[in-house]
Chains A and B, each alone.
Chain A
Amino acid sequence: MDYVFDFSFLESFRSEIISGVRLTILLTVVSILPGFALGTACAVGRLYGPRWLQTAVTIYIEAIRNTPLIIQVFWLFFGLAVLGARIGPFNAAVIALVINTGAYSAEIMRAGFQAIPKGQLEAANCLAMTRRQIFWNIQLPQAAELVYPALVSQFILMMLATSIMSQISVEELTGVGYQVQSITFRGFDVYLVIAALYLALATMLRLCLHGAAQLAFTRLRRLRTPL
């Protein structure tokens, strides 16, 4: 093979690529925490809520997990616009990511809550703690710790899934890559670079989440238990 690499686009499209990376990071960062919070709330609703709430949450989770993210985004962006609700492409993208991540992390957190031995909750009840105190001090920290590796995977999948958002003109990294490729016709080189950038971003996100775990889970840090 006598293919000659040409990475000169890195120089000529530098600012576009940087803004694409920024937008990908921004979409990820603003969606993770609300998505996780929504998921946790849904897990609690599905496990401990009244029957109507359990049903509502189950419908939400299954509807989201069994339809493509891109259809969810289109529906939010184009569908709501038809009804006269214009929320803008960036907002549509973030809302879709939060709703999507919420549904998946709800199931992950549900597994975490269910993995806590019932005896602990009985003991906490017998110590006269309220349900709220038990949730915040005993259930949430342990559930999050138990399923943390699965949550990390989910958040990284979510970051990678931001790559479809250029479909509604949110010009994140993949969107920028497509533009550069369509101007330079250097598809091989361009997408190699884009892939490398995603790999770097995913690694950074993994490291950040690992650092967060070290801060949040004191016991793991002190006992040097791997997650």
Chain B
Amino acid sequence: MTVISMNSVHTPVAPQTGVQPMVSFRDVHKSFGALEVLKGIDLDVMPGQVAALIGRSGSGKSTALRCINGLEKINGGELTVCGRNLRARDFELRDLRKEVGIVFQSYNLFPHLTVEQNVTLAPRKVNGLDAAQSRALAAEVLEQVGLSDKALSYPEQLSGGQQQRVAIARSLAMRPQLMLFDEVTSALDPELTGEVLRVIGKLAAGGMTMVLVTHEMAFARQVADLVVYMHQGRVWEAGKGTMLDDPQTVELRQFVGSGL
């Protein structure tokens, strides 16, 4: 299974097995009005893989990520996520979103709820967990992000890094098959960035399938099984993290060289 695109260099990334990809873009197009942001994306993310989307602002990487859980509707091509075709007639967005977690740059926690309530709101309302089950669940996911002692705090009492880890815990509480991270450390200073990246790294090591949009090149190289360099709405170059050491295209060379 190779990734094919018109004018860019690719390395085959998906292993040749019978396993279905968790995320599969096939010639995906997306426009905002007259502006075409995605100009035919092909990309496979296999179960257990970590894919890092990198590229300049405006390259379409965040849009591509947001298409995966239906925050943006694609205009052309095929997009399959967790075995669901997003353009199928019987496609139910809420069913997909029970299986796909997403973490945003701006945390988007619910400020009027405690950390525990933030984490358990959706499991209680959507999955019907009772009070005891949801408390146990909160304890488990807060432990995963290292915030067991903050269950009863409110978001405003936490640092940015802690808030972002709560947001990760809130997504994990839905027991997703796939996690999406949209520039989750861009609003954090380097020290707080570290604590969030460690949590994501731990999840990756635990086998979680993830797609992340990031500006942290060192982190992408380290945890990603697949690094995808996007440029002008296309997958320009894709491969293992080592591709960053030996870019095949001028654009990626410039991008890596710019020290981002």
Q: What is A's interface to B at a CB cutoff of 8 Å? A: 117, 119-120, 122-130, 133, 137-138, 141-142, 145, 217-219, 222-223
Contacts and interface: CB of A to CB of B under 8 A. Distances in A.
A128 B94 contact: yes
Contact of B126 (A129, A138, A217, A223): A129
8 contacts: A119-B104, A119-B106, A119-B108, A125-B97, A126-B69, A127-B122, A145-B112, A222-B154
Given A124-B110, A129-B121, A133-B126, 7 more contacts: A120-B109, A126-B100, A126-B101, A130-B125, A133-B125, A219-B113, A223-B157
B98 interface: yes
A122 B71 contact: yes
A130 B122 CA distance: 10
Contacts of B100: 126
Contacts of A141: 112
Interface in B105-125: 106, 108-114, 121-122, 125
Contacts, number: 69
Contacts of A218: 112
B102 interface: yes
B165 interface: no
A223 B157 CA distance: 9
A124 B157 CA distance: 21
Interface of B: 69, 71, 94-95, 97-98, 100-102, 104, 106, 108-114, 121-122, 125-126, 154, 156-157, 167, 170-171, 174
B171 to A, nearest CB: 8
A145 B112 CA distance: 9
Contacts of B156: 223
A226 B111 CA distance: 16
A217 B157 CA distance: 16
B104 A122 contact: yes
Contacts of A128: 94-95, 97-98, 122, 126, 174
Most buried by B among A127, A130, A133, A219: A127
Given A119-B106, A126-B69, A128-B94, A142 B112 contact: yes
